[in-house]
Amino acid sequence: MTGVNHRDMNTKNKYVILKALATQGAMPRNELSMLSGLSKMAVTAIANEYMEQGVLRECGELSSSGGRKPKLLELDPNGLLTLSVSIDREMLLVGIVNARGTILRSEHIPFRQVDSNQILTDNLFYLCDMMMRDPLSRNFWGIGVSCVGPLSIEEGEILNPPDFGSIHNLPIVRLLKERYDLPCYLQNDMCLAALAEAYYGKHSSMKNFLYIGISAGIGGGIILDRKLFTGTSGLAGIIGHSIVQMDGLPCTCGQRGCLEQYSSLTAIVKWAREQSGDDTITWMKLAGGILEGNPLSQNVINRMAEYLYVAISNFQAAFDMQGVIIGGELYGAKDYIVSRVRENLQSENLKWSYRRRIEVEGSSFMSDASFIGTSALIMENRLGK
């Protein structure tokens, strides 16, 4: 049996305390002790150390029937800050996110201005330099980078994402580490959106779930036993390229019948235009039509939900998940899409539904889940491993 030294154990104990306060909010020392399995003495020692460093603070008292009133502990909102970077096909976003998942500051540049490795790097340094001049930068404990894939997580590189200008094989982690002398971690944007839900979302009580992000494409992230699961090569959860129609529409990945060709916003706008003959239809028009009870919008999104149901059913058969969280750029149609998928997955006609009833919920965030997830990424890597 491999031994665990005192330093490793102390780091893991700190992670347990910080994650509990980050995900569940303020609580007294005795509750932290019960939740973590640590002794009250160990919790007090960690709390005192972190209060001296400005990471934790006392924020009030609980009522007591006798004796001293238990004092509540919480994360200091300006302690343990992440220099957060988000790179997608529309913009480069850089900012400051605290350990509670709150965005304290952000700046962005439209992606049309950053279509090569050098231009992206120049603009990235410009925005990061701006954040480093903020007085809060003294509390940075890492840089978290969210990016569309494919990525090489081990090498810290952006490889060759499709429809992404001329950006390829960019060693973004090495470049940021060298310039700012901070630990830096890279992860797929959908994985970080899932991590944000696990840490900071309103459905964070779910231990096992699949996050689905729907925009121009479809991505996913898997949380198993409250931990991000990325698989052998880091590609677990790419639900957009699960096959929902045998010999179906060709996909850019080389397969046919991928979910992305039926339920992404790009795909359903294309289908709606074909059905109506109206080339002016946009996703915003379809989403608005749902609120107005427009039949075309309902038909299009019902079809979208049916294909999502097929893909989710396959994932459910493999992972026996507690729930599915649906997010992305759905705007006013999110609740309708969630309800349609929920109806399909919780159908009484499914013989296993009473034993494996799966929760289907909408994302807790608008379109900033992956950006917020960079904070959880830093905590996972700095303390959780």
Which pLDDT score, from 0 to 100, does residue 16 have?
86
Going by C-alpha positions, the residue among 75, 82, 5, 22 that lies closest to residue 47 is 75
Distance CA 82, CA 97 (A): 5
pLDDT per residue over 249-294, tens digit each?
A: 999 888 999 999 999 999 999 999 999 999 999 999 999 998 888 9
pLDDT per residue over 302-360, tens digit each?
A: 999 999 999 998 998 888 889 999 999 888 889 999 999 998 887 755 555 555 678 89
pLDDT surpassing 80 at residue 68: no
| For the chain, percent of residues with pLDDT exceeding 90 | 58
Mean pLDDT of 212-238: 90
Residues 315, 319, 322, 326: is their CA dihedral positive or negative?
negative
Mean pLDDT of 195-204: 91
Which pLDDT score, from 0 to 100, does residue 149 have?
84
Distance CA 32, CA 70 (A): 12
Which pLDDT score, from 0 to 100, does residue 235 have?
80
Which pLDDT score, from 0 to 100, does residue 326 have?
96
pLDDT surpassing 60 at residue 33: yes
Residues 374, 375, 376, 381: is their CA dihedral positive or negative?
positive
Which pLDDT score, from 0 to 100, does residue 59 have?
85
Q: Do the Cβ atoms of 93 and 48 come closer than 8 Å?
A: no
How many Cα atoms are found within 13 Å in the side-chain-facing hemisphere of 290? 21
Which residues contact residue 92 at a Cβ distance below 8 angstroms, ignoring those fewer than 6 apart? 85, 86, 108, 109, 111, 114, 120, 123, 124, 127
Highest mean pLDDT among 43-57, 127-141, 347-361: 127-141
